[in-house]
C-alpha cells in the first residue's frame, strides 16, 4: 500500500476550517487505502516563541482533533513528533546538504520572518522546512496530503531527498504533494484574498473549537462583494467564491449546482447555508474532542502506542541514513 505522512503544528489550541478542509479531512479519507502516519509536529511549534504548559496542552488537543476529524489510531500511526528523536537527528544531516540559498527561497519563511522582524526570527524558523523534510523522508512517504501553502516545502523535500540518494546511495522514497484542487486554499473570511491562517487571529478565522455562536457570527459577517449574484469568480468575487468553496466542500454539492440553487437568492441565504454546513461538522467534532480530553491518560497512552509504531519505521531508516553518510556505527 502506498504510504502517506502529514502533520500539523500545535501552535493554537484549535485547528481552523482551512486545516480541516485542506488537510485533516483528506487524512481521514486516505487511511483506508494507504499506510498512514499522522503526526502532531510539536518540534515545529517552538520556532516562533511559545509557552511550555500551553504547548503540552495544545499537543493533546491537536491529537484529539485528529481523531475527532476521523483519523483512526488503530488504522493509522498517530503520534507526537518529539516522542521520536529520529526526526531531529535526520534533520541535522539534511541541513548539511541543503543550500543556504535554497532554504532562503522558501516563501513561508520569507512571509513569517517579515512578520516577526529579524531579531524575533529564529534559526529554527529558517531550518523548519529541513525538519519537515526529515519528518517525511524518515517514513518513506509516497504522498503528503497538505494545502497549497505547503507545496514548496514538499518540493524541497524531494530535492533534498534526491540529493541524499545521489550522493550516498538510494535511501529515501521521494514524496509527492497530494493537494486536492477544490480545497487547496481556504481564504480568510474578512480578507478573502489571504489564506485562512492560525497566526492571523481575527474575525476572518473559523476555529473548529470556537463557541458555535462565534462561528455563526463570523460567517454572518464574512466580507462578500458588490453585486448580488451568488456566482463563483475568484478574481472579482473572492468573498462569495470562498463561501461557495466551503459549502461545496462540506456538502459535496458541485459549485455549479449551488450557483443554480441560489439563482435569484442573495448572499444572506448563502451564509445561512454555510453556517448550517459548518455547524453540522463542528458540533459533533467538538463533542468528540471533549470526550477525548476527559481522559487525558488514555489519550497519552494512545499517543505512546503511536510513537512505538512509528519507531519501527523511523529507527531503521535513521540507522540506514547514518551508515550511508559514513558515521561509525556504535558498538
Smallest separation (angstroms) from ligand AQP to the CB of 155: 13
Catalytic residue among 185, 195, 237, 271: 195
Smallest separation (angstroms) from ligand AQP to the CB of 63: 13
Vertex 133 angle, CA 74 and 19, to 5° = 55
Smallest separation (angstroms) from ligand AQP to the CB of 264: 31
Does the active-site annotation cover 271?
A: no
Dist. CA 5–CA 34, nearest whole Å = 10
Catalytic residue among 112, 176, 272, 309: 112
Strand partners of residue 16:
207
Binding-site residues from annotation:
9-11, 18-19, 135, 147-149, 186, 195-199
Which residue, 54 or 149, has its beta carbon nearer to ligand AQP?
A: 149
Binding-site residues from annotation for L-tryptophan:
135
Instruction: Return the C-alpha cell found at 326.
Output: 559514513
Does the active-site annotation cover 309?
A: no
Which residue, 129 or 321, has its beta carbon nearer to ligand AQP?
A: 129
For 125, residues 6+ apart whose C-beta sits below 8 A from its C-beta are 47, 48, 109, 112, 113, 116
Which residue, 197 or 224, has its beta carbon nearer to ligand AQP?
A: 197
Q: Look at residues 6, 60, 81 and name the one whose alpha carbon lies nearest to residue 38.
A: 6
Which residue, 80 or 321, has its beta carbon nearer to ligand AQP?
A: 80
Does the active-site annotation cover 176?
A: no
CA quadruple 62, 223, 179, 3: dihedral, nearest 10:
10
* Binding residues for ligand AQP (CB under 6 A): 8-9, 18-19, 22-23, 146-147, 149-150, 185-186, 195-199
Q: Which residue is nearest to ligand AQP (CB)?
A: 22
Smallest separation (angstroms) from ligand AQP to the CB of 156: 14
Smallest separation (angstroms) from ligand AQP to the CB of 199: 3
Binding-site residues from annotation for ATP:
9-11, 18-19, 147-149, 186, 195-199
Smallest separation (angstroms) from ligand AQP to the CB of 329: 34
Which residue, 191 or 259, has its beta carbon nearer to ligand AQP?
A: 191
Rg (CA), the chain: 21
Residue with cell 489510531: 73
Which residue, 145 or 306, has its beta carbon nearer to ligand AQP?
A: 145
Catalytic residue among 110, 185, 198, 217: 198
Dist. CA 255–CA 251, nearest whole Å = 10
Dist. CA 107–CA 105, nearest whole Å = 6
Residues serving a catalytic function are 112, 195, 198
Amino acid at each position: 500500500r502506498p504510504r502517506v505522512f502529514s502533520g500539523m503544528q500545535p501552535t493554537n489550541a484549535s485547528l481552523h476550517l482551512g486545516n480541516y478542509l485542506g488537510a485533516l479531512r483528506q487524512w481521514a479519507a486516505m487511511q483506508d487505502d494507504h499506510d498512514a502516519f499522522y503526526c502532531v509536529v510539536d518540534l515545529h511549534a517552538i520556532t516562533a516563541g511559545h509557552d511550555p504548559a500551553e504547548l503540552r496542552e495544545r499537543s493533546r488537543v491537536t491529537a484529539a482533533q485528529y481523531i475527532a476529524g476521523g483519523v483512526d489510531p488503530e488504522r493509522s500511526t498517530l503520534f507526537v513528533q518529539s516522542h521520536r528523536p529520529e526526526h531531529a537527528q535526520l534533520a541535522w544531516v539534511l541541513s548539511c546538504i541543503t543550500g543556504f540559498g535554497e532554504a532562503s527561497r522558501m516563501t513561508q519563511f520569507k512571509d513569517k520572518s517579515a512578520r516577526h522582524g529579524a531579531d524575533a526570527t529564529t534559526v529554527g524558523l529558517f531550518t523548519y522546512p529541513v525538519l519537515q523534510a526529515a519528518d517525511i523522508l524518515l517514513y518513506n512517504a509516497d504522498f503528503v496530503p497538505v494545502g497549497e501553502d505547503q507545496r514548496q516545502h514538499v518540493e524541497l523535500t524531494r530535492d533534498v531527498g534526491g540529493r541524499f540518494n545521489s550522493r550516498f546511495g538510494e535511501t529515501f522514497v521521494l514524496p509527492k504533494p497530494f493537494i486536492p484542487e477544490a480545497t487547496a486554499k481556504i481564504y480568510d473570511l474578512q480578507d478573502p484574498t489571504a489564506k485562512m491562517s492560525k497566526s492571523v487571529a481575527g474575525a476572518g478565522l473559523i476555529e473548529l473549537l470556537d463557541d458555535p455562536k462565534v462561528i455563526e457570527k463570523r460567517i454572518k459577517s464574512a466580507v462578500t462583494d458588490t453585486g448580488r449574484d451568488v456566482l463563483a469568480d475568484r478574481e472579482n468575487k473572492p468573498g462569495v467564491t470562498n463561501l461557495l468553496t466551503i459549502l461545496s466542500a462540506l456538502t459535496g454539492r458541485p459549485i455549479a449546482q449551488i450557483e443554480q440553487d441560489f439563482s435569484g437568492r442573495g448572499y444572506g441565504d448563502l451564509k445561512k447555508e454555510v453556517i448550517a454546513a459548518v455547524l453540522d461538522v463542528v458540533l459533533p467534532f467538538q463533542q468528540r474532542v471533549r470526550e477525548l480530553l476527559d481522559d487525558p491518560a488514555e489519550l497519552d497512552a494512545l499517543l505512546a502506542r503511536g510513537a512505538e509504531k512509528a519507531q519501527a519505521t523511523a529507527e531503521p531508516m535513521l540507522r540506514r541514513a547514518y551508515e550511508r553518510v559514513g558515521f561509525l556505527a556504535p558498538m
